[in-house]
Structure 1
Amino acid sequence: MNDELNDEIAALNAIYDAECLVPFSACDREEEEEAAVYTLQPPSSVVYPPLRLRISIPPDYPATKPTILDHGSTGAALAREVLDSVFRPGEVCLYDLVEGLREVLGGEPEPEPEPEPAPERAPTLPPRSPSPPAAQIEDLSLSAASTDESADPWTVAPAITEKKSVFVARAIGVSSAAEAHELIARLVSGDKKIQRATHNISAFRIVREKGVVVQDNDDDGETAAGSRLAHLLQAMDVKDACVVVSRWYGGIKLGPDRFRLINTAARAALVLGGFVKEEEKPAKGKGKKRKK
């Protein structure tokens, strides 16, 4: 075992779990002249559903990429995609592999809080209108979903409401990082409802000649949401597009499920905008892609 691999194993097991990366079996130790086989099993708080992978690490790692030995499972296929995207010859990559899986799958959902027992006798109150926050969120959901597309260059996906939180995604074509940043700033500054959003998560991806990729993301305070959104654009092979997902918090914590909802909303906007080739339907295209 070389020093770089030894240090990376120690770091992984210190950061995540003592059993995050361990030798697959004693016999593998005897074959280190060729390749060593390890078991990678991040804790469920990091990757969920739980994932257990066998990884063959060559003796000249990190010059050569490790190999995922498992076949026939969705988790193994996903791990290969993440490994391909994070590996750079000469740089250790197992930590990036775990973090990439965390971005895609998320951790184990937080348990729902126990409902508080109702009082034995509640006073009878006259009917009253909903409280301002609830009314405001409902208004945001309806108005955002019915945006006038003729006056809005963004493709707006239908609002998603989950436990009083509202998610609305918008997508638009871009040709440069400067244009993407300008469009995002103009979108937020020009709409009071969007300004009142708890978070406006954004990401863009531009593919230039010779496959050069220009990309960036902003989680706007929703930690890790921006990088997850950027990973979605990469996984869907989105080109020359920017997506913004606005979330209005409804007072009930969603846990890791909020990341799924953010990506679901973003995916809908990208499909409606025609930025996903495999899902384009020219005969029934209801979305519109901004002309450049």
Structure 2
Amino acid sequence: MRQIENVVSDRGSKYAVSGGPAASRGDVDDFLKALKRNRKYARATHNSWGVLLSDGTPLKGDDGESGAGMVILRMLERAGLRDHVIVVTRWYGGTKLGGDRFRRVQDCVRAYIDTQPGGPA
């Protein structure tokens, strides 16, 4: 599991991104359980995630951040990253971000993909 904390802050909300190998829904569930063993992540407002399986099956979870899983999936498709789950974590800061929340999700996924071995640097 790779984690990047404090990727971005916006109007009090703080974001982090995590990722790792996942070739099935069971692997995703195991990854999320491992992530949430850290109390900080378990108490986060949202842990939105997406994964593209090698057979092309898309899986996603918004965890209350409507539309965030789809944003993650689209970025995984563009990057050609399969069998790898990415989780964007948000700790809500008290101010609604509207459409900007999608830009923050994109910032997190981009930060993760850009630092991925073999990815753009």
TM-score exceeds 0.5 = yes
2:88 to 245, 248, 256: 245
Alpha-carbon contact 1:243-1:270 (below 8 Å) kept: no
2:46 to 199, 206, 224: 199
1:271 aligns with 2:118: no
- The Cα shift of 1:187 comes to 1.3
Of the two, which has the highest radius of gyration?
A: 1
The residue that corresponds to 1:261 in the other structure is 104
1:187 aligns with 2:35: yes
- Structure 1 residues without counterparts, runs of 5 or longer: 1-153, 281-292
Choose between structure 1 and 2: higher strand proportion: 2
Q: Counterpart of 2:57 in 1: which secondary structure?
A: strand
The residue that corresponds to 2:63 in the other structure is 220
- The Cα shift of 1:220 comes to 0.3
Alpha-carbon contact 2:22-2:83 (below 8 Å) kept: yes
Q: Counterpart of 2:47 in 1: which secondary structure?
A: strand
Alpha-carbon contact 1:171-1:270 (below 8 Å) kept: no
What is the aligned residue count? 120
RCO greater where, 1 or 2, for CA within 8 Å and sep 6 or more? 2
- The Cα shift of 1:170 comes to 0.7
- The Cα shift of 1:157 comes to 2.1
Alpha-carbon contact 1:203-1:244 (below 8 Å) kept: yes
- Structure 2 residues without counterparts, runs of 5 or longer: none
Q: TM-score normalized by structure 1?
A: 0.39
The one-letter amino acid of 1:238's match is: L
Find runs of 4+ consecutive structure 1 residues off by over 3 angstroms.
Answer: none
RMSD of Structure 2 on Structure 1 (CA): 1.6
Alpha-carbon contact 1:239-1:275 (below 8 Å) kept: no
The residue that corresponds to 1:24 in the other structure is none
Question: For 1:266 and 1:275, how far apart are their aligned partners in 2?
Answer: 15
